[in-house]
Amino acid sequence: MRLSALAWRSLAARPLRTGLTLLGIALGVALVAGTFLANQASAEAVERAARDLYGNADLRVRSFDAQIGLTQRAVDTLRTLDGVEAAAVVAERRLTLSTLPGDNERVFPLLVIGVDPADEAAVREPALAAGRYLSTGAPNEIVLGVAYAREKGLALGDELLLTGSRTEAPVLTIVGLLEPTGFGALANGAVGVMDRSVLSEAFDVPAPITAVDLVVVEGEIDVVQEGINREMAEPFVVETQEDAAAELGAAQAGFAGISFLFGLVALAVGAFVVTNTLAMTVSERTREIGLLRAAGMVRRQIRNLVLRQGLYLGVIGAGLGVALGVAIGAAMIAILGATRTVLVSGLPIDSQALAVAFLVGVAVTMFASWTPAADAAAVPTMDTLRASQRPGRSLWSRLRWIAIIEVAVLVVGLVIYPLTRGTSPLATIVVAVAVLVGAGLAAAFALEPLGRIVSSPFTWFFGAGGYLGRANLSRDRARAGLTVAAMTVALGAVVALGTTSASADQTADRWVNSIMPGGYAIRLPIPVPIDDFTPVFASVTGTKVASPVALFPAVLDDDGVRREVGMAAIDPTTFEDEGSLIMVEGDRGVAFEALRDGGAVLIPQSFASREGLTIHRNVTLDLPGESAAGFEIVGIVAYSLPGRTGEASVIMSLADAEALWGVTDASLWAMVRQPTVTAATYEGLVAAAAADNAGEPLSAQQVADRLTRSLDELIGLYDALALVAVLIGALGIVNTLSLAVSERVREIAILRAHGMTVGQVQAMVVAEASIMGLVGGLLAAGAGVLMAWAIVATSSHADFAAGLVIPWPLLAAVALMGLGISALAGVYPARRAAKLSMVAGLKGYE
């Protein structure tokens, strides 16, 4: 018989085990392939969004201060520059739309973009999911982001009002739904596009022109650039399509890295399962291999026999995995698209990525079959020893190889990492997976002592079954250890996710509360005079203080290094009295006093560490067209108010801003409540005041929720991925215990002969599975927290500034989940054990 036929037959003889192992490999590969595709979809979506945003435009001239915008004169200048073929004006305003007044009137905060439909045609063509785009001559139309519209239950033909606009402002009709690309990709898809003239006329103050997009005559870019620099009389920034892609991409930077991480986790778990299965097959067939050796087969042939089995498993499993991966990728993309958490395009069938996933699957399986192959080759000619009692090999010598395999998985992961085009720090991923895999291996060693500790309830509950179930675990420590390791890694991923998300939530809460004195605020779409509006907001019932905040951009000069920064001018007294702003460096009292005295700024920690700025340093702040002024950094704060692009602002006093640069307008008012009104009542009052002034009410709670919402949704998706890994781990348990049962038929028969009932035999197997699962769950709790700590510690992300939060209920839940899933996984082998005939068992056969 040919070697290949023998290898094949050996797999076919154990259809269940082979099937489970194939499924394990397939799921691992599927996860890798699926995340590849989803990452690809997100990368493609970002590129496409930037491309569609620019259309034919080569340059975008953006106003320095988006709240002020460019003047009509600047627009005219740009339009008539030499080399400019076409120009399109973009105005932006955050505002609230509502359905027509009535019982179920609803409001929608949106980023509304005003365009001139006539000019648009020459610059870009919007991608529509339904309906049509704005038409020239029909100004009362609007198109909305498709996912947002679906989420809010808005459809083509629905009518919307601009809230807070002049009473004669027209009703808008939804005529089209935008694909999540171009304008539709902005603000997470919570976006609407309408005629700029209507948008401007609806309010007393026109919507600021944030950008002018220019289509340049072929080869004239430099001429146009020069022209812009020469002719523009007001502050501006020139951007290109790449800048837009970078900005859109930054928002989903972490996604590719983290989802790739889960692919690796699944592969690592898969590697444990494959090694274990093949090792079991070999140990089960020791006698047979001995016979083959006696019949003249040489060691090399034996090794090849096992490697060939690995190859078959790998090729078939990875093949199935790729097919399954396309399905998983499609599902991920559908979820991401519907929840608007990450920009995604349609399902890209990237044959290169799928080929890599396939090869990785085969390679990992081959690696994983190396140890069992070597073990098989080492079997002496006639081995009459009991298979599971190979003496003289320490646990470590048996696990050393799997450690090497797992390192190989990591290395393979690193090599293919560029494929995912991830931008999140590689170090985080490597450390995180290393922690998890290390913990998995540690699990193999901890199983015995920990098993002893956790088994007492099982002994109490299952009696003899529990006692023997625990004792069985020490029979083959490498095998049981690897089974637990797989479970530990998979469950550890679930814990890590939960811990990371809890930490991010806590950070968000702290962040929002520390920058929002009083916990409520009103945001207006445009800056309005402080002197006029502060009394209006202060008169809202139950208001202790209405404190204006002016947000504007500036240039910070630190010994000649100039960077654009967002500024937030505040009333220091309100922030001090309400305990806002968390001081990381500098004395709180001194810092606020200095702000009041003038010439002082507070800088956010993220900015300080990125730019290497320290407390007491003197910097210069510069407003285009205004005089520069020197400031001392009097404190470093943990969080600050977000500027235009979401980065934290530098904080100064309103008095300074007015005195130096004539800032007299603000767009944000912090609302501090008097204790005499309840929070719920006050929230309603603030909302009403906001609506009356075309503004948007904010509450700390709601902002924090919004901040963490997209993260939570992603975490939900990752949890689903991690659960696939848990499933692979559970397959490992079924595999291990099925083999254990068939190996122990004689023992089980002897137990039965001594009066063990069918129920006790089942309990024994289920107890064995449960103890494995509980140990796995407990270790996973530790490993997951460690992994989360690695993520939090190595990521520079301000998302985790509040440090690690340990979600205890989740840890308990995961430990119980390990127990429950494993107990379930033990049911099938247990039933098989119970069905065994005593007489057949005594003969030593199944």
Partner 1 sequence: MESILEARDLVKRYPVGGSEVEVVRGVSLSVKRGEFVAIMGESGAGKSTVLHLLGGLDQPNAGEVIIDGVPFGSLDDEHASMTRRTKTGFVFQYFNLLPILSVAENVALPFLIAGVSVAEKRSRVEEVLEMVGLSEKVNHRPDQLSAGEQQRVAIARALAGEPAILLADEPTGNLDYATGAEILDILWDSSERLGQTIVLVTHDARAAAYADRVLIVRDGQIIDEVRLGRRANHDAGPLIARLAQLGL
Residues that bind partner 1 (CB under 8 A): 386, 389, 463-464, 467-468, 471-472, 474-475, 746-747, 749-760, 837-839, 842, 844
Whole-number Å distance between alpha carbons of 783 and 776: 10
Smallest distance from the beta carbon of 394 to partner 1, in angstroms?
17
Residue 207, burial from CB neighbour count under 10 angstroms (0-12, 13-18, 19+): buried
Would you say 460 or 808 has its CB closer to partner 1?
Answer: 460
Would you say 476 or 656 has its CB closer to partner 1?
Answer: 476
Smallest distance from the beta carbon of 453 to partner 1, in angstroms?
18
Would you say 395 or 838 has its CB closer to partner 1?
Answer: 838
Whole-number Å distance between alpha carbons of 593 and 590: 5
Would you say 694 or 749 has its CB closer to partner 1?
Answer: 749
CB 25 within 8 A of CB 317: yes
Would you say 135 or 474 has its CB closer to partner 1?
Answer: 474
Would you say 786 or 836 has its CB closer to partner 1?
Answer: 836
Smallest distance from the beta carbon of 763 to partner 1, in angstroms?
11
Smallest distance from the beta carbon of 838 to partner 1, in angstroms?
4
Smallest distance from the beta carbon of 752 to partner 1, in angstroms?
7
User: What is the Cα 599 distance to its own chain's centre?
Assistant: 41
Sorted by sequence, the CB contacts under 8 Å of residue 843 that are 6+ apart come out as: none
Buried b (16+ CB within 10 A) or exposed e, 760-794: bbbbbbbbbbbbbbbbbbbbbbbbbbbbbbbbbeb
CB 142 within 8 A of CB 131: no
Beta bridge partners of 635: 602
Q: Which of 559, 552, 646 is nearest to 611 (CA)?
A: 559
Would you say 759 or 803 has its CB closer to partner 1?
Answer: 759
Smallest distance from the beta carbon of 474 to partner 1, in angstroms?
6
Whole-number Å distance between alpha carbons of 406 and 371: 13
Would you say 51 or 746 has its CB closer to partner 1?
Answer: 746
Would you say 751 or 780 has its CB closer to partner 1?
Answer: 751
Would you say 105 or 846 has its CB closer to partner 1?
Answer: 846
Measured between its terminal Cα atoms, the distance across the chain in Å is 26
User: What is the dihedral sign for C-alpha 573, 579, 583, 587?
Assistant: positive
Would you say 246 or 750 has its CB closer to partner 1?
Answer: 750
CB 670 within 8 A of CB 535: no
Helix or strand or coil: residue 268?
helix
Sorted by sequence, the CB contacts under 8 Å of residue 542 that are 6+ apart come out as: 673, 674, 676, 677, 681, 682, 685
Whole-number Å distance between alpha carbons of 305 and 363: 17
Integer angstrom CA distances of residue 279 from 299, 307, 374, 386: 16, 11, 10, 15
Would you say 468 or 769 has its CB closer to partner 1?
Answer: 468
Would you say 136 or 837 has its CB closer to partner 1?
Answer: 837
Would you say 241 or 760 has its CB closer to partner 1?
Answer: 760
Smallest distance from the beta carbon of 483 to partner 1, in angstroms?
17
Beta bridge partners of 99: 160
Integer angstrom CA distances of residue 98 from 91, 119, 447, 624, 684: 20, 28, 60, 37, 17
Would you say 390 or 644 has its CB closer to partner 1?
Answer: 390
Smallest distance from the beta carbon of 759 to partner 1, in angstroms?
8
Sorted by sequence, the CB contacts under 8 Å of residue 812 that are 6+ apart come out as: none
* Both tokens assigned to 578: 């309400």
Do β-strands 650-653 and 561-570 pair in parallel, antiparallel, or remain unpaired? parallel
Instruction: Look at the block and give the residue holding tokens 């739309």.
Output: 97
Smallest distance from the beta carbon of 828 to partner 1, in angstroms?
20
Whole-number Å distance between alpha carbons of 357 and 416: 9
Smallest distance from the beta carbon of 755 to partner 1, in angstroms?
3
Smallest distance from the beta carbon of 407 to partner 1, in angstroms?
32
Whole-number Å distance between alpha carbons of 757 and 799: 56
Whole-number Å distance between alpha carbons of 22 and 314: 8
Smallest distance from the beta carbon of 391 to partner 1, in angstroms?
8
CB 745 within 8 A of CB 787: no
Phi, psi for 521 (deg, rounded to 5): -155, 160
* Both tokens assigned to 229: 């620099």
Would you say 678 or 837 has its CB closer to partner 1?
Answer: 837
Residue 393, burial from CB neighbour count under 10 angstroms (0-12, 13-18, 19+): exposed
Would you say 181 or 286 has its CB closer to partner 1?
Answer: 286
Q: Is 189 left (phi over 0), alpha (psi -120 to 50) or beta?
A: left
CB 33 within 8 A of CB 328: yes
Would you say 477 or 706 has its CB closer to partner 1?
Answer: 477
Smallest distance from the beta carbon of 743 to partner 1, in angstroms?
11
Helix or strand or coil: residue 394?
coil
Helix or strand or coil: residue 203?
coil
Integer angstrom CA distances of residue 443 from 100, 491, 552, 576: 61, 12, 55, 51
- In one-letter notation, the amino acid at residue 457 is P
Smallest distance from the beta carbon of 290 to partner 1, in angstroms?
18
Smallest distance from the beta carbon of 255 to partner 1, in angstroms?
48
Reported as half-sphere exposure (CB side, CA atoms, 13 A), residue 830 has a value of 24
Smallest distance from the beta carbon of 343 to partner 1, in angstroms?
56
Smallest distance from the beta carbon of 15 to partner 1, in angstroms?
23
Buried b (16+ CB within 10 A) or exposed e, 602-618: bbbbbbbeeeebebeee
Smallest distance from the beta carbon of 312 to partner 1, in angstroms?
32
